[in-house]
Amino acid sequence: MRATLDFLLYDWLDAAALNGRPRFAEHSRETFDAVLDACERLARERFAPYNRLSDTEEPRFDGERVHLPQATHEAMRAYVESGMLAAAHDYELGGMQLPCVVEMAARSFFSAASVSMSGYAMLTQGNANLLLAHGSPRQKQVFARNELAGRWFGTMCLSEPQAGSSLSDIATRAIPDGDDHAADPLGPRYRLKGHKMWISAGEHELSENIIHLVLAKIPGPDGRTIPGVKGISLFIVPKHLVDAEGRLTGERNDVALAGLNHKLGFRGTTNTLLNFGEGRYPVRGQAGAIGYLVGAPGQGLACMFHMMNEARIGVGLGATMLGYAGYLAALEYARQRPQGRPVGPGGKDPAQPQVPIIEHADVRRMLLAQKAYCEGALALELYCARLVDEQRTGTPQAADDARLLLEVLTPIAKSWPSEWCLEANSLAIQVLGGSGYTRDFPVEQYWRDNRLNMIHEGTHGIQALDLLGRKVVMEGGKGLALLAGRIRDAVARAAQLPALAGCAQALGEALERLEQATRAAWSSGDPVVALANATPYMQAFGHVVLAWIWLDVATCATRGEPDDFRRGKLAAARYFFRYELPKIGPWLAVVESRDTTCLEMQTTWF
């Protein structure tokens, strides 16, 4: 995995060249490698050995406290001490000014070692990043800095029992807290009341405090809230109240754990139902959780999307690395497990010794599929992180292009690994056979853990609506055009190489069909019809994007000596073009024809 990571970072994305930019001037490949080495070791020593334990010793609530394995406490302390929470941030914020692409590469080790234990860190970083983007100077100073320092951890509180995908229906209310509410140094102070569901890391004792970022509605003078997402505002709601200097005041805020969710997987991260402001912990004599407004009233969802987009790429990385961890386990098993014999001219000779199962074509097929899914997905996630660096440190034009590309690619970066690296996990189980179905091997846990990723941070269906309903049509379709341009550039480069010319042509044709299908979907102008097949559209879009990534990675692999490593990359690319890209045909067929089978299906016909 490290060799692939290095290849993608340095050979493909030329991350070392980033130190030519002022922000990264003090960095070099040596400092990047030092970070990667340290994270690889930390993940191997403090996370991976306890990943199974985080599953079997599921979080437990005794009515007062949530208990997690001691190993999780120790892993998170070690992570905090590594400084990785602030790695990509400014020196003045205690950060390392690491490029995002290097930070993501470093993160990948933790996701592979224990996706659910590292969940606490990812949420905390996302939370702090949001506050750095939208918080007041004081909010940044008090909340974001203490999060980046690992003193406090963070959450994002969007869903409610009656409002999951439909955020416009949230019912948590925020009322100004007293006459002096506007004068609080931590931000306009409100009292929140409501229930938040599916809150990851919503309760634990891994950190001194938990900083909830909560969506709620502020009622108007008539006591009514504005229907829809326009009425949503964003609040900082700490579990323990703090003063303007970030010191705990000793007051417990009125946020209570109603219960833990008992999940199929991903059990190392607590998942909670939280009651805000029910009076379980009255503050200053009254019920209502104290919260501080972030940004302007009614702008909550826009602010939250800053965190959501980052979280979506984070979900994609987590899904990718679960797949990757399974692939490596399957590869190791396939190399060692003897079973069966090759068919010779006279059939099989049972007198010969058995061969390792990796010798069988069907096992290689399953391993190649995993390699193509997981290495391709990793390349995509790193590409997205590289775009974030471009957005922050590129020329104005490059930065704006990067922003637009990220808009278009985010639903793919989230959905594609969630679907296909889950499939990789299933193939890893299959390679191990009966052993893969037991809890003596890690692959079944990866598969269970990974099943969450098509659900949280916006379901698969929501990503598809975002892609076809918004991203490919926004700004007059500029984002899609930009992406198509990048793809055509890659096609033109690869077309020059004899080994890749066929793939280049196939990708060029696939792209044209995708563009045509996009137009066909919207040709009636009716969003109901256009979006009825949004999911197959997204699946095809994702496969085209991954074909592009593989073509470009393979182009890079043709440079330098053709060693085993590079031949493997070319074989995976070839696999993707032969076995995967053609799948876009059936998906796009229903998009192009605006198939109405699902639309016309009646509830009573099921």
Residues labelled catalytic: 457
Q: Which is nearer to a second copy, 106 or 590 (CB)?
A: 590
Minimal distance, residue 140 CB to a second copy, in Å = 31
Q: Does 195 bind a second copy (CB under 8 A)?
A: no
- Report the interhelical angle of 100-114 vs 29-42 (nearest 10°): 20
**Contact assessment for residue 213 and residue 155, using Cβ atoms and an 8 Å cutoff:** yes
Residue 195's DSSP bridge partners are 275
Span between the terminal Cα atoms of the chain, in Å: 46
Q: Helix (H, G, I), strand (E, B), or coil: what is residue 480? A: helix
Binder among 294, 315, 368, 382 for a second copy (CB under 8 A): 368
- Within 58-97, the residues that bind a second copy by CB under 8 A are none
**Considering beta carbons, is residue 111 or 426 the nearer one to a second copy?**
426
String of contacts with a second copy for each residue 25-64, x by CB under 8 A = ----------------------------------------
168 belongs to the binding site for a second copy (CB under 8 A): yes
Residues 6+ apart with CB under 8 A from 285: none
Distance of CA 336 to the CA centre of its chain: 33
Question: Is the Cβ of residue 152 or residue 266 nearer to a second copy in the bound state?
Answer: 266
Cα–Cα distance, 405 to 417 (Å, whole number): 18
The closest of 453, 456, 468, 392 to 423, measured between CA atoms, is 453
Using CB under 8 A as the binding rule, whether residue 464 contacts a second copy is answered as yes
Q: Does 501 bind a second copy (CB under 8 A)?
A: no
CA 261 to chain centre: 21
CA distances from 355 to 211, 337, 344 (A): 55, 8, 13
**Per rule CB under 8 A, is residue 134 in the interface with a second copy?**
no
Helix (H) or strand (E) holding 103: helix 100-114
Question: In angstroms, what is the minimal distance from the CB of 463 to a second copy?
Answer: 11
Residue 82 structure tokens = 């590594």
- Nearest approach in angstroms of CB 500 to a second copy is 14
Of the candidates 448, 467, 449, the one whose C-alpha atom is nearest the C-alpha of residue 458 is 467
Smaller CB separation from a second copy, 289 or 570 = 570
Which residues, 6+ apart, have CB-to-CB distance to 276 below 8 Å?
172, 192, 193, 194, 195, 196, 214, 237, 254, 255, 289
Nearest Cα residue to 513 out of 479, 487, 551, 489: 487
Q: Which stretch binds a second copy (CB under 8 A): 135-143, 173-181, 306-314, 533-541?
A: 533-541
Q: How far is the CB of 55 from a second copy (least distance, A)?
A: 12
Beta carbon of residue 162, minimum distance to a second copy (angstroms, whole number): 8
Binding positions for a second copy, 239-258, rule CB under 8 A: none
595 touches a second copy (CB under 8 A): yes
Site string for a second copy, 397-426 (x = CB under 8 A): -----------------------------x
Any contact of residue 220 with a second copy (CB under 8 A)?
Answer: no
Does position 485 bind a second copy by CB under 8 A?
no
Q: Is 557 in the site for a second copy (CB under 8 A)?
A: no
Part in contact with a second copy (CB under 8 A); list of ranges 402-410, 474-482, 506-514, 530-538: 530-538
x/- map, 348-367, a second copy, by CB under 8 A? x-xx--x-x-xxxxxxxx-x
259 bridge partner residues: 273
The residue with tokens 């606490």 is 120
Span interacting with a second copy, options 5-13, 37-45, 297-305, 577-585, rule CB under 8 A: 577-585
CA 578 from chain centre, in angstroms, equals 28
Closest approach, Cβ 600 to a second copy, in A, equals 7
Q: How many residues does the chain have?
A: 606
Of 14, 284, 336, 437, which lies in the binding site for a second copy, with binding defined by CB under 8 A? 437
Stretch that binds a second copy, among 11-19, 114-122, 502-510, 583-591 (CB under 8 A): 583-591
Q: Are 211 and 142 in contact (CB under 8 A)?
A: no
Q: Which residue has the tokens 């890893």?
A: 428
Nearer to a second copy, 286 or 593 (CB): 593
3-state secondary structure of 476: helix
Closer to a second copy by Cβ: residue 187 or 268: 268
- For residues 59 and 261, what is the distance between their CA atoms, to the nearest angstrom? 9
As to burial, measured by CB atoms within 10 angstroms (0-12 exposed, 13-18 middle, 19+ buried), residue 52 is middle
CA distance 10 to 21: 16
Q: Of 6-14, 37-45, 104-112, 573-581, which part binds a second copy (CB under 8 A)?
A: 573-581
* 152-157/209-217 β-pairing: parallel
User: At its nearest, how many Å lie between a second copy and the CB of residue 363?
Assistant: 7
- Binding part of the chain for a second copy, among 64-72, 248-256, 396-404, 429-437 by CB under 8 A, reads 429-437
Buried b (16+ CB within 10 A) or exposed e, 475-484: eebbbbebbb
The 288-327 site mask, x for binding a second copy (CB under 8 A), equals: ----------------------------------------
